[in-house]
Structure 1
Amino acid sequence: MRFWLTCFLLICSFGVMSKTPEQIRSAFLYQMANFIEFPSMGDSGIRFCFYDLKSGPGAILTKNKSLKIKGLPISIKKVEKNTAILELSSQCEITYFDGALGNDILSSYDKNTPLDMLMVSDNLSFLDNEGMAALVQEGNKIRLYVNKQQIAKHNFKVLSRLLAVAKFHPN
Protein backbone atom coordinates (compact mmCIF):
# COMPACT_ATOMS: atom_id res chain seq x y z
CA MET A 1 0.00 0.00 0.00
CA ARG A 2 2.79 2.43 0.88
CA PHE A 3 4.48 1.64 -2.40
CA TRP A 4 1.38 2.60 -4.39
CA LEU A 5 0.84 5.74 -2.35
CA THR A 6 4.46 6.77 -2.91
CA CYS A 7 4.18 6.08 -6.64
CA PHE A 8 0.92 8.04 -6.86
CA LEU A 9 2.40 11.06 -5.07
CA LEU A 10 5.53 10.91 -7.21
CA ILE A 11 3.55 10.78 -10.46
CA CYS A 12 1.22 13.58 -9.34
CA SER A 13 4.15 15.81 -8.47
CA PHE A 14 5.43 15.69 -12.08
CA GLY A 15 2.42 17.69 -13.25
CA VAL A 16 2.98 20.48 -10.74
CA MET A 17 4.79 23.38 -12.34
CA SER A 18 6.76 25.60 -10.02
CA LYS A 19 6.40 29.33 -10.47
CA THR A 20 9.26 31.38 -11.88
CA PRO A 21 10.78 34.19 -9.82
CA GLU A 22 9.20 36.71 -12.22
CA GLN A 23 5.74 35.19 -11.74
CA ILE A 24 6.18 35.40 -7.98
CA ARG A 25 7.40 39.01 -8.20
CA SER A 26 4.39 39.98 -10.31
CA ALA A 27 2.05 38.31 -7.80
CA PHE A 28 3.81 40.17 -4.97
CA LEU A 29 3.44 43.51 -6.78
CA TYR A 30 -0.24 42.87 -7.38
CA GLN A 31 -0.89 41.83 -3.77
CA MET A 32 1.20 44.67 -2.32
CA ALA A 33 -1.14 47.19 -3.94
CA ASN A 34 -3.98 45.86 -1.78
CA PHE A 35 -2.12 46.92 1.36
CA ILE A 36 -1.05 50.43 0.39
CA GLU A 37 -3.20 53.54 0.45
CA PHE A 38 -2.19 55.92 -2.34
CA PRO A 39 -3.34 59.55 -2.31
CA SER A 40 -3.45 59.68 -6.11
CA MET A 41 -5.59 56.58 -6.62
CA GLY A 42 -8.88 57.58 -8.17
CA ASP A 43 -11.50 55.87 -10.27
CA SER A 44 -8.83 54.80 -12.73
CA GLY A 45 -7.43 52.23 -10.28
CA ILE A 46 -3.82 51.30 -9.59
CA ARG A 47 -1.29 52.22 -12.26
CA PHE A 48 1.76 49.95 -12.48
CA CYS A 49 4.78 51.24 -14.41
CA PHE A 50 7.56 49.11 -15.86
CA TYR A 51 10.60 49.81 -18.01
CA ASP A 52 10.21 46.44 -19.74
CA LEU A 53 6.90 44.88 -20.79
CA LYS A 54 8.47 42.07 -22.86
CA SER A 55 9.90 40.16 -19.91
CA GLY A 56 9.74 40.08 -16.13
CA PRO A 57 6.83 41.08 -13.90
CA GLY A 58 5.67 43.72 -16.38
CA ALA A 59 5.07 41.11 -19.08
CA ILE A 60 3.15 38.88 -16.68
CA LEU A 61 0.88 41.63 -15.36
CA THR A 62 0.29 42.90 -18.92
CA LYS A 63 -1.21 39.50 -19.77
CA ASN A 64 -3.55 39.80 -16.76
CA LYS A 65 -5.06 43.26 -17.25
CA SER A 66 -8.47 42.04 -16.08
CA LEU A 67 -7.19 41.97 -12.48
CA LYS A 68 -8.78 44.39 -10.04
CA ILE A 69 -7.60 45.95 -6.80
CA LYS A 70 -10.22 47.23 -4.37
CA GLY A 71 -12.81 46.77 -7.12
CA LEU A 72 -10.94 48.98 -9.59
CA PRO A 73 -9.04 47.82 -12.68
CA ILE A 74 -5.26 47.86 -12.84
CA SER A 75 -3.43 49.55 -15.68
CA ILE A 76 0.04 48.76 -16.94
CA LYS A 77 2.28 51.39 -18.49
CA LYS A 78 5.70 51.20 -20.12
CA VAL A 79 7.92 54.12 -19.18
CA GLU A 80 11.13 55.35 -20.75
CA LYS A 81 14.44 55.25 -18.90
CA ASN A 82 14.81 59.03 -19.10
CA THR A 83 11.48 59.74 -17.36
CA ALA A 84 12.04 61.84 -14.24
CA ILE A 85 11.01 60.37 -10.88
CA LEU A 86 8.64 63.27 -10.15
CA GLU A 87 6.90 62.69 -13.48
CA LEU A 88 6.64 58.97 -12.71
CA SER A 89 5.11 59.80 -9.34
CA SER A 90 2.26 61.61 -11.07
CA GLN A 91 1.71 58.77 -13.59
CA CYS A 92 2.11 55.64 -11.45
CA GLU A 93 1.27 54.24 -8.04
CA ILE A 94 3.85 51.44 -8.24
CA THR A 95 6.99 51.48 -10.40
CA TYR A 96 9.19 48.40 -10.76
CA PHE A 97 12.89 48.65 -11.64
CA ASP A 98 14.82 45.65 -12.96
CA GLY A 99 18.39 45.15 -11.82
CA ALA A 100 20.77 48.08 -11.51
CA LEU A 101 18.43 50.39 -13.43
CA GLY A 102 16.83 51.48 -10.16
CA ASN A 103 20.17 52.61 -8.73
CA ASP A 104 20.85 54.71 -11.84
CA ILE A 105 17.45 56.40 -11.62
CA LEU A 106 17.64 56.98 -7.85
CA SER A 107 20.94 58.83 -8.23
CA SER A 108 19.22 61.60 -10.22
CA TYR A 109 16.34 62.17 -7.81
CA ASP A 110 16.18 64.53 -4.81
CA LYS A 111 15.37 62.17 -1.95
CA ASN A 112 13.89 64.96 0.17
CA THR A 113 10.94 65.32 -2.23
CA PRO A 114 7.97 63.19 -1.07
CA LEU A 115 6.41 60.99 -3.74
CA ASP A 116 2.94 59.49 -4.28
CA MET A 117 4.50 56.33 -5.76
CA LEU A 118 6.08 53.17 -4.36
CA MET A 119 9.36 52.24 -6.06
CA VAL A 120 10.23 48.53 -6.07
CA SER A 121 13.31 46.72 -7.38
CA ASP A 122 14.73 43.22 -7.31
CA ASN A 123 17.92 43.81 -5.31
CA LEU A 124 19.05 45.00 -1.89
CA SER A 125 21.48 47.58 -3.30
CA PHE A 126 18.38 49.53 -4.37
CA LEU A 127 17.46 49.86 -0.68
CA ASP A 128 21.03 50.80 0.23
CA ASN A 129 20.68 53.70 -2.25
CA GLU A 130 17.50 54.90 -0.50
CA GLY A 131 15.02 52.87 -2.54
CA MET A 132 11.71 51.90 -0.95
CA ALA A 133 11.12 48.16 -1.44
CA ALA A 134 12.83 45.16 -3.02
CA LEU A 135 11.62 41.70 -4.02
CA VAL A 136 14.81 39.70 -3.55
CA GLN A 137 15.39 36.08 -4.51
CA GLU A 138 16.84 34.05 -1.64
CA GLY A 139 17.34 30.46 -2.71
CA ASN A 140 14.01 29.33 -4.12
CA LYS A 141 12.00 32.07 -2.36
CA ILE A 142 11.22 35.70 -3.11
CA ARG A 143 11.35 37.87 -0.03
CA LEU A 144 9.98 41.40 0.43
CA TYR A 145 12.42 43.89 1.94
CA VAL A 146 11.34 47.39 2.90
CA ASN A 147 13.39 50.50 3.67
CA LYS A 148 11.20 51.73 6.51
CA GLN A 149 12.90 55.15 6.70
CA GLN A 150 12.15 55.82 3.02
CA ILE A 151 8.57 54.56 3.20
CA ALA A 152 7.85 56.96 6.07
CA LYS A 153 8.98 59.99 4.00
CA HIS A 154 6.41 59.63 1.23
CA ASN A 155 2.73 60.44 0.68
CA PHE A 156 1.31 56.91 0.68
CA LYS A 157 0.50 54.70 3.65
CA VAL A 158 1.77 51.11 3.89
CA LEU A 159 -0.63 49.10 6.02
CA SER A 160 0.67 46.99 8.89
CA ARG A 161 -0.43 43.73 7.26
CA LEU A 162 2.13 44.28 4.50
CA LEU A 163 4.85 45.35 6.92
CA ALA A 164 4.22 42.16 8.93
CA VAL A 165 5.46 39.99 6.05
CA ALA A 166 8.41 42.23 5.16
CA LYS A 167 11.97 42.27 6.36
CA PHE A 168 13.55 45.65 6.96
CA HIS A 169 16.76 46.75 5.24
CA PRO A 170 18.95 48.55 6.13
CA ASN A 171 18.37 47.91 9.82
Structure 2
Amino acid sequence: MRAFCLLCLLVFSSVSFAKTAEQLRAAYLMQIPAFVRYTNTNHKPYQITYCFAEQLGKVGGLIDAQQSVLKERMSFSLVVVKQANANELKECTYLYLAKNTDNIDQYIKQADTKTIAIGEELSVMEDGALMSLVQEQNKIRIHINRTKLDENTVSFNARLMSLAKVANY
Protein backbone atom coordinates (compact mmCIF):
# COMPACT_ATOMS: atom_id res chain seq x y z
CA MET A 1 0.00 0.00 0.00
CA ARG A 2 2.82 2.37 0.88
CA ALA A 3 4.54 1.67 -2.44
CA PHE A 4 1.25 2.31 -4.27
CA CYS A 5 0.82 5.69 -2.54
CA LEU A 6 4.39 6.63 -3.40
CA LEU A 7 3.82 5.63 -7.01
CA CYS A 8 0.61 7.70 -7.15
CA LEU A 9 2.41 10.70 -5.69
CA LEU A 10 5.23 10.44 -8.24
CA VAL A 11 2.80 10.07 -11.14
CA PHE A 12 0.65 12.99 -9.93
CA SER A 13 3.64 15.26 -9.41
CA SER A 14 5.05 14.54 -12.86
CA VAL A 15 1.65 15.12 -14.47
CA SER A 16 1.03 18.36 -12.61
CA PHE A 17 4.36 19.79 -13.80
CA ALA A 18 3.98 18.64 -17.40
CA LYS A 19 4.21 21.51 -19.85
CA THR A 20 1.72 22.08 -22.63
CA ALA A 21 2.91 22.44 -26.21
CA GLU A 22 2.15 26.18 -26.05
CA GLN A 23 4.21 26.62 -22.88
CA LEU A 24 7.14 24.81 -24.48
CA ARG A 25 6.87 26.87 -27.68
CA ALA A 26 6.77 30.10 -25.66
CA ALA A 27 9.87 29.02 -23.73
CA TYR A 28 11.72 28.11 -26.94
CA LEU A 29 10.69 31.37 -28.57
CA MET A 30 12.14 33.39 -25.71
CA GLN A 31 15.41 31.40 -25.78
CA ILE A 32 16.07 31.57 -29.52
CA PRO A 33 17.73 35.05 -29.49
CA ALA A 34 20.57 33.62 -27.40
CA PHE A 35 21.43 31.28 -30.28
CA VAL A 36 21.14 33.75 -33.20
CA ARG A 37 24.22 35.26 -34.78
CA TYR A 38 24.01 38.00 -37.40
CA THR A 39 26.29 37.67 -40.41
CA ASN A 40 26.10 41.46 -40.86
CA THR A 41 26.41 43.28 -37.54
CA ASN A 42 24.39 46.21 -38.96
CA HIS A 43 21.37 43.91 -39.06
CA LYS A 44 21.47 43.09 -35.36
CA PRO A 45 18.41 44.70 -33.76
CA TYR A 46 18.73 46.99 -30.76
CA GLN A 47 15.46 45.68 -29.41
CA ILE A 48 13.84 42.37 -30.22
CA THR A 49 10.32 42.56 -31.61
CA TYR A 50 8.20 39.43 -31.55
CA CYS A 51 5.42 39.73 -34.10
CA PHE A 52 2.45 37.42 -34.01
CA ALA A 53 0.42 37.03 -37.19
CA GLU A 54 -3.25 37.98 -36.71
CA GLN A 55 -3.40 37.41 -32.92
CA LEU A 56 -1.20 36.71 -29.90
CA GLY A 57 -2.77 33.29 -29.51
CA LYS A 58 -1.82 30.99 -26.66
CA VAL A 59 1.95 31.27 -27.18
CA GLY A 60 1.92 35.06 -27.33
CA GLY A 61 -0.49 35.21 -24.41
CA LEU A 62 1.89 33.17 -22.27
CA ILE A 63 4.79 35.48 -23.13
CA ASP A 64 2.61 38.53 -22.54
CA ALA A 65 1.61 37.26 -19.11
CA GLN A 66 5.28 36.86 -18.13
CA GLN A 67 6.59 40.11 -19.66
CA SER A 68 7.64 41.74 -16.40
CA VAL A 69 9.80 38.74 -15.46
CA LEU A 70 11.16 38.19 -18.96
CA LYS A 71 12.08 41.85 -19.49
CA GLU A 72 14.58 41.56 -16.65
CA ARG A 73 16.64 39.29 -18.93
CA MET A 74 16.12 40.92 -22.32
CA SER A 75 14.57 43.93 -24.01
CA PHE A 76 11.68 42.99 -26.26
CA SER A 77 8.20 43.96 -27.37
CA LEU A 78 5.18 42.03 -28.59
CA VAL A 79 3.25 43.16 -31.66
CA VAL A 80 0.21 41.69 -33.38
CA VAL A 81 0.41 42.07 -37.15
CA LYS A 82 -3.10 42.04 -38.60
CA GLN A 83 -2.21 41.61 -42.26
CA ALA A 84 0.64 40.45 -44.47
CA ASN A 85 1.98 43.92 -45.24
CA ALA A 86 5.68 44.65 -45.78
CA ASN A 87 5.43 47.96 -43.89
CA GLU A 88 3.97 46.28 -40.81
CA LEU A 89 6.43 43.39 -40.95
CA LYS A 90 9.63 45.42 -41.42
CA GLU A 91 10.06 45.97 -37.67
CA CYS A 92 9.69 42.27 -36.81
CA THR A 93 12.74 40.44 -35.52
CA TYR A 94 10.73 37.23 -35.13
CA LEU A 95 7.46 36.48 -36.90
CA TYR A 96 5.44 33.76 -35.21
CA LEU A 97 2.93 31.94 -37.40
CA ALA A 98 0.44 29.81 -35.45
CA LYS A 99 -1.30 26.81 -37.05
CA ASN A 100 -4.55 28.69 -37.53
CA THR A 101 -3.00 31.72 -39.28
CA ASP A 102 -4.56 32.51 -42.66
CA ASN A 103 -2.26 33.17 -45.64
CA ILE A 104 0.94 32.03 -43.96
CA ASP A 105 2.74 32.09 -47.31
CA GLN A 106 1.85 35.78 -47.75
CA TYR A 107 3.27 36.70 -44.34
CA ILE A 108 6.51 34.91 -45.20
CA LYS A 109 6.77 36.53 -48.64
CA GLN A 110 6.21 40.02 -47.22
CA ALA A 111 8.65 39.60 -44.31
CA ASP A 112 12.09 41.20 -44.45
CA THR A 113 15.13 38.94 -45.00
CA LYS A 114 16.29 39.89 -41.47
CA THR A 115 13.04 38.53 -40.00
CA ILE A 116 13.10 35.02 -38.62
CA ALA A 117 9.79 33.37 -39.50
CA ILE A 118 8.80 30.62 -37.08
CA GLY A 119 5.84 28.30 -37.45
CA GLU A 120 4.20 25.43 -35.62
CA GLU A 121 4.04 22.89 -38.46
CA LEU A 122 6.42 21.54 -41.08
CA SER A 123 4.22 22.95 -43.85
CA VAL A 124 5.41 26.50 -43.00
CA MET A 125 8.92 25.38 -43.91
CA GLU A 126 7.72 24.60 -47.41
CA ASP A 127 6.21 28.11 -47.55
CA GLY A 128 9.64 29.55 -46.74
CA ALA A 129 9.81 29.87 -42.94
CA LEU A 130 13.27 29.59 -41.42
CA MET A 131 12.24 27.58 -38.38
CA SER A 132 9.39 25.53 -37.01
CA LEU A 133 8.59 24.34 -33.49
CA VAL A 134 6.79 21.08 -34.22
CA GLN A 135 5.05 18.95 -31.64
CA GLU A 136 6.27 15.35 -31.86
CA GLN A 137 4.43 13.23 -29.31
CA ASN A 138 4.81 15.14 -26.04
CA LYS A 139 7.92 17.11 -27.07
CA ILE A 140 8.64 20.15 -29.19
CA ARG A 141 11.25 19.59 -31.88
CA ILE A 142 13.07 22.43 -33.61
CA HIS A 143 13.24 22.17 -37.39
CA ILE A 144 15.44 24.53 -39.41
CA ASN A 145 15.11 25.17 -43.12
CA ARG A 146 18.68 24.90 -44.48
CA THR A 147 17.69 26.58 -47.77
CA LYS A 148 16.33 29.67 -46.01
CA LEU A 149 19.20 29.72 -43.53
CA ASP A 150 21.67 30.00 -46.42
CA GLU A 151 19.66 32.94 -47.85
CA ASN A 152 19.09 34.75 -44.55
CA THR A 153 21.32 37.28 -42.79
CA VAL A 154 21.43 35.17 -39.62
CA SER A 155 23.13 32.00 -38.53
CA PHE A 156 22.55 29.84 -35.50
CA ASN A 157 24.88 28.78 -32.74
CA ALA A 158 26.28 25.26 -33.17
CA ARG A 159 24.52 24.17 -30.00
CA LEU A 160 21.09 24.98 -31.45
CA MET A 161 22.01 23.36 -34.74
CA SER A 162 22.95 20.16 -32.94
CA LEU A 163 19.56 20.06 -31.22
CA ALA A 164 17.56 20.87 -34.32
CA LYS A 165 16.60 18.80 -37.31
CA VAL A 166 18.11 20.66 -40.26
CA ALA A 167 16.90 19.91 -43.77
CA ASN A 168 16.16 21.51 -47.14
CA TYR A 169 12.47 22.24 -47.64
User: Structure 1-normalised TM-score?
Assistant: 0.80
Q: Which residue matches 1:36? A: 36
Quote how far apart the aligned CAs of 1:109 are. 4.2
The DSSP-based 3-state class of the residue aligned with 1:135 is: strand
Q: Identity over the aligned pairs, expressed in percent?
A: 26
Contact 2:132 2:144 in 1 (8 A): yes
Q: Which runs of 5+ in 2 are unaligned?
A: none
Q: Distance in 1 between matches of 2:85 and 2:124?
A: 18
CA RMSD of aligned residues (A): 2.3
Gaps of 5+ in 1: none
Q: 1:60 to 1:32 in 2, by over 3 A?
A: same
Number of aligned pairs?
Answer: 159
Structure 1 partner of 2:135:
137
Structure 2 equivalent of residue 65 of structure 1: 67
Aligned to 1:8: 6
The separation in 2 between residues aligned to 1:5 and 1:31, in whole angstroms, is 39
| TM-score (norm: length of structure 2) | 0.81
Note the C-alpha offset of 1:144: 0.5
Q: How does 1:16-165 map to 2 (within 5 A)?
A: 16-38=16-38, 39-42=43-46, 45-51=47-53, 52-53=55-56, 55-66=57-68, 67-68=70-71, 71-84=73-86, 87-88=88-89, 90-99=90-99, 101=102, 102-106=104-108, 108-109=109-110, 115-165=113-163
1:123-164 C-alpha deviation (Å, 9 max, x unpaired): 111112222111111111111100012012112232211111
In 2 relative to 1, CA 87–152 (structure 1 residues): closer, same or farther, beyond 3 Å?
A: farther
- Deviation per CA, 1:68-97: give whole Å up to 9, x if none: 48x53221111112322x652x31211100
Q: Distance in 2 between matches of 1:73 and 1:109?
A: 25
Helix, strand or coil for the counterpart of 1:47?
Answer: strand
Alpha-carbon distance, 1:46 to partner: 1.6
